[in-house]
Structure 1
Amino acid sequence: MKALIIEDEYPAAERLTKLIQKAGTGIEVTDVIGSIEAARGWFATHKAPDLIFSDIQLSDGLSFVIFEEIPLKSPIIFTTSYDEYAIKAFKVKSIDYLLKPIKPQELTAAIEKYRALTGSHSPQEYGLKIQSLLDSLPMAGRKFKTRFLVKQQEQLVPIHQHEIAYFFTTNELVCLVRHDNRQFLVDYTLEELEKLLDTAHFFRLNRQYIAALSAVKNIHTYFNGKLKLELHPEPMQEILISREKAPAFKEWVEG
């Protein structure tokens, strides 16, 4: 069984190759490619592999571009450091979604899932299995939090999501900032908010900030592939998005 790895970080590709070898599943990694452009050239000159392991954020964009441009029949196991792409991943024939650092037992389970899903010779049955897997995801049909109850002196005040500009953390406290620049403490961590908020409207910019799309005033290119943001209301510190997160942020803004 032939497998291809799409990964732009050599240490990550090397580690994944070793994990696949140690799993003893009979899968042979035939090649490793590290960019969208390289993938275009590779698929133009090679037979499609039995299975693809693909990172999502590559040096020249999101790997979804590859699978949207090239009609492939190969199932895909995505490997990534971020969980915000899960639903889209399963819509491009992904059979699993592994978060880095990849655990050996999770890799083995993903490969077993691949064998189970591809055991049928019927494309229709395979498609139904993939859809069933997608429907079973916790994120599918998930209800997001749209209101927060915050304390204002001796009162509790509801704030709707459309009033929220961003959340930020300071001194282990999390603050909600409205578009009118009024600020309120909330009893959630940013990690908890990431799971509660609708990702169509909110994005985790970095370790300190989660912002609403409506709060993004200007986007500037920055050195080393980073992005610099202007938010409204103006935050207390400079807002930078890492090179690794920049492609996801751009896609989020574009919708």
Structure 2
Amino acid sequence: MKELRLVMVEDEAATARNLEYVLKGLNENINIVVILQSVSEAVNWFENNQTSYDIVFMDIRLADGLSFDIFKKVNIHRPVIFVTAYNDYAIQAFKNNGIDYILKPFDEQEIAKALDKFENLTKPAEQELKGLKLAQLLEYVNIELKSYKKSFLVHYRDKLVPLETAKIAWFYTSNEIVYAHTLDNKQYVMDFTMEQLEQQIDPELFFRANRQFIINRKAILEIEFYFNGRLAVKISPETPEHILISKVRVPVFKSWMNN
């Protein structure tokens, strides 16, 4: 089987590793050419590598902006499969070389179907699909929007109790333990990593502020300007440490807050 040269645009290391593992498990001839972690890095790479890849797997919200900004600055001549936690960018995705739109947390079957679509689209008999109108293409790829977790089962004393996701003010990790702190000021230990939680909760409601915190927009009281272009977010209930948004994440955070 012919080598498939793949470029990945993903700023979460854990997600990139998981996707690479799934891809190589599905097709041993897949060659991950490069993993790009930001808009600026991707623009620079694609400018200098116009033909050295066959397909792109791309996240949408990156540390320094939306991946759609890449297409405004450089031409990408290959099909793109978007893999994202956000379900509101589908039309933009298909206007930017998109042939599939997969929501996190993804599974092996979805990735396999996406690769099959790529293979079919590159067959001569399937070239006519490229001329389909956007609405037809959306129907062809059959986007399935996933629901996010409504609750988690958490340990409380000697019991398991349901914890409603919407009532969690923030998730916090310290010493490799992840905690969920509720709007009514209760705290529970979670059985998930921050990366796993990020893929299971609604990105319209929760935002990954930094490595230590995922915050609920309902818990945000105010936002202050901080040193070096950063933002400090004040949360209720109060957090054990300051929540700081890095300078490169500020545009993404503002976009999320304005959504």
Aligned residue type for 1:90: A
Q: Does 1:149 align with 2:153?
A: yes
Distance, in Å, in 2 between the alignment partners of 1:228 and 1:244 is 14
CA distance in 1, matches of 2:68, 2:51: 26
Amino acid across the alignment from 1:148? F
* C-alpha displacement of 1:18: 2.8
Q: Distance in 1 between matches of 2:225 and 2:176?
A: 30
Instruction: Name the counterpart of 1:224.
Output: 228
Identity %: 29
Unaligned runs of 5+ in 2: 1-37, 103-114
Q: Quick one: which of 178, 181, 193 aligns to 2:197?
A: 193
**Could you say which residue in structure 1 is the equivalent of 2:167?**
163
CA distance in 1, matches of 2:234, 2:79: 36
* CA distance in 2: counterparts of 1:199 and 1:115, whole angstroms: 33
Q: Is the 8 A contact 2:230 2:247 kept in 1?
A: yes
CA distance in 1, matches of 2:77, 2:54: 19
Deviation of 1:188 after TM superposition, in Å, equals: 0.6
2:132 and 2:158 map into 1 onto residues whose CA distance is 60
1:17-96 superposed matches below 5 A: 17-23=47-53, 62=66, 83-85=84-86, 87-92=87-92, 93-96=95-98
RMSD (Å) for aligned C-alpha atoms: 4.1
Q: Which residue does 2:255 correspond to in 1?
A: 251
Task: Note closer, same or farther for the CA distance 1:65–1:166 as it changes in structure 2 (3 Å cut).
Answer: same
Q: Bigger relative contact order, structure 1 or 2, given CA contacts below 8 A and separation 6+?
A: 2
Which residue identity does 1:15 align to in structure 2?
W
8 Å Cα contact 2:68/2:96 also seen in 1: no
Q: TM-score, normalised by structure 2?
A: 0.60
1:128 and 2:136 are equivalent in the alignment: yes
Structure 1 residue runs of 5 or longer lacking an equivalent are 1-6, 26-52, 99-108
Q: Which amino acid aligns with 1:18?
A: N
Distance 1:111 1:163, change over 3 A: closer
How far, CA to CA, are the matches of 2:229 and 2:119 in structure 1?
A: 37
Going from structure 1 to structure 2, the CA distance change for 1:120 and 1:239 (only over 3 Å counts) comes to: same
Closer, same or farther: CA 217–78 of 1 in aligned 2, 3 Å:
farther
Residues in 2 aligned to 1:188 and 1:54: alpha-carbon distance in whole angstroms? 22
Q: Partners in 2 of 1:194 and 1:220 — Cα distance?
A: 24
CA distance in 1 between counterparts of 2:80 and 2:184 reads 41
**Cα distance, 1:170 vs structure 2:** 0.7
Against the structure 1 CA distance between its residues 185 and 54, is the aligned structure 2 distance closer, same or farther, given a 3 Å change threshold? Answer: closer
> Secondary structure of the residue that 2:214 maps to in structure 1?
strand
Shift of 1:229: 0.4
Distance 1:185 1:56, change over 3 A: closer
CA distance in 2, matches of 1:152, 1:215: 23
